[in-house]
Amino acid sequence: MSEDRELYSLEAEQGVLGALMLDQSLADRVFGLVDTADFYFDDNAALFEEAHACHEAGMPIDVVTVGISRRLLPSGRTTLAYAGEIARDVPSVANWKTYAQVVKERSVLRHLVAVSQEIQDGASANRPFPEIIASAQQKMADLRDLGFDDQQSYYRASEILPGVIDTIDSKFNKTMPAGLSTGLKDLDELVRGLRPGNMIVVGGLTGSGKTILGLQIAQHVTCNLDGVGLAFSMEMTKEELITRGLASIGSVNLSKLDSGDLEDDDWPKLTGAVNVLNKAKLFVNDQAGMTMPRIRSIARQCQLREGLSVLLVDYVQLITAEGGANRSLEVGKISTALKNLAKELKIPVIVLAQLNRGSTNRPDKRPRPSDIRDSGQIEQDADVVILVHRDTESEEGQNGVTELIVGKVRHAKIGSCLVQQQGKYVRFVDFGGKPPTTEEVEMGRVLKFTGRVKGRKDHEPF
């Protein structure tokens, strides 16, 4: 057998087709394991496709039915004659699964050869080295779903129940780790923790504070929960992000850090913040033009080397698409890739997203998940949607009062909470003022501050 012939097996392909035509009970299992693209020979692929069409139409699969529904194969040979020959010569219907496995394995090998050639062509092209590596890793990752799936496809309820009961018992006894805390008490009560495999979308208009919230959560996980965080920022430099972190953690005015006009009592605060960030496993990437394959590659490297507790992407609409003129479609693909990455890494992925300005035309100006810009797919993919809303025309908004609207959460009820933005420290804190009454909420009235909060300088927006 030559090297080329090892990439396909005529006998195995004919064995699968023969089993299909001789044993109707195998149809669903065969079609669940292999598809038309797995066949190397055109006549075999065409015959398999015709058999599948007969099955979908509720017709029996045999030599006569496929021969009637398709008279000629790509080679010009009659379908009836070829199907009859295969049905007559198949060694054993009992070996159908072995035949199917060989067909699938050879198909994967052909894909592997093709991907290797693409990688070689890419390496020869004049492209940046990191881009070549990321593209190669993505192509190899795409082969994962092509393998022969021998896992159980469905489960009886009695098989699942023991694990579910153990989980409920662990939650009752408080022995099961909850989702990661955001660091904001009222928000934690709403979302019930950031859960592994979840995509948490934080949306807001420009200047609303979505970056502040996203980075603050990542800092809380790494500085207070001893977790590992990776932040991708396509809008700010890594130096700007860390400077914001020093202001937030140390309660040092960001404008002073930017200007260098620090006072004597600022230095101990700054030193304390430096010590905290020095110990924290917070990693930052600020490379421009990031694509999803590159983000995935870096995140996987970080998880393998450091472990990874949370991933932050700021923001989804700035991720570079790999092609295509339809922006909505491309952003939708990026969103789905981020959701898949959360499931693959088994960590919460916080995705910041820009909103359109539709909410500014509403009487209450409150945003909705449907206001997420460019693609409705982001809202569909998200497990949790948190919308950052601060009405800058109101007295409360001017004083930093911000509403966090949980517009979607798969495992709890939607709702909202108030937080206080401390602009000069680039952070949010739990709200300390008077919450609105039910009547005020229903009437759409703005919240009135208590005198204790109103006018305090440390609440002024930056």
Q: Measure the CA–CA gap between 212 and 146, rounded to whole angstroms.
A: 41
Q: Measure the CA–CA gap between 334 and 351, rounded to whole angstroms.
A: 11
Instruction: Determine the angle formed by the axes of helices 327-345 and 292-306, rounding to 10 degrees.
Output: 10
Give the residue, 176 or 225, on which the prediction is more confident.
225
Instruction: Determine the angle formed by the axes of helices 79-89 and 10-22, rounding to 10 degrees.
Output: 90
Give the residue, 351 or 5, on which the prediction is more confident.
351
CA distance from start to end of the chain: 73
Q: Write down the pLDDT at residue 458.
A: 41
Give the residue, 285 or 125, on which the prediction is more confident.
285
CA gyration radius, the chain: 29
Q: Where are the domains of the chain?
A: 1-149, 185-459
What's at 254, amino acid-wise? L
User: Residues of the chain with pLDDT > 70: what percent?
Assistant: 84
66-88: pLDDT as tens digits: 888 888 999 999 988 998 888 88
Q: Write down the pLDDT at residue 454.
A: 34
The Cα angle at residue 240 between residues 234 and 245, in degrees rounded to 5: 110
* Dihedral sign of CA atoms 274, 178, 413, 411 in order: positive
Q: Write down the pLDDT at residue 442.
A: 45
- Is the pLDDT at 146 greater than 70? The verdict is no
- Is the pLDDT at 65 greater than 90? The verdict is no
Among 24-33, 112-121, 393-402, which stretch is predicted with the lowest mean pLDDT?
112-121
364-408: pLDDT as tens digits: 788 888 888 877 888 888 899 999 998 888 888 888 888 999 988
The Cα angle at residue 137 between residues 131 and 141, in degrees rounded to 5: 145
Average pLDDT over residues 34-43: 89
Cis amide leading into 315 (omega within 30): yes
Q: Write down the pLDDT at residue 199.
A: 92
**What's the pTM?**
0.64
Which secondary structure element, helix H or strand E, spans residue 122, and what is its range? helix 96-124
- Is the pLDDT at 34 greater than 80? The verdict is yes
**pLDDT level of residue 158 (50, 70, 90 thresholds):** confident
Nearest to 326 by CA among 397, 375, 277: 375
SS3 assignment for 191-208: HCCECCCCEEEEEECCCC
Burial class (CB in 10 A: 0-12, 13-18, 19+), 109: middle
Q: Measure the CA–CA gap between 368 and 378, rounded to whole angstroms.
A: 13
- Is the pLDDT at 249 greater than 60? The verdict is yes
Find the Cα–Cα–Cα–Cα dihedral 182, 184, 186, 187, rounded to 10°. -30
Average per-residue pLDDT for the chain: 81
Class of domain 1-149: mainly alpha
173-195: pLDDT as tens digits: 766 566 788 889 899 888 888 89
Find the Cα–Cα–Cα–Cα dihedral 345, 348, 351, 356, rounded to 10°. 130
Average pLDDT over residues 322-345: 83
Tokens (6 digits) for 335 = 């969103």
Burial class (CB in 10 A: 0-12, 13-18, 19+), 239: exposed
Give the residue, 118 or 94, on which the prediction is more confident.
94
Distance set, CA 66 to CA 17, 23, 54, 60, 61 (Å): 11, 14, 7, 9, 7
Domain 185-459 carries which CATH code?
3.40.50.300
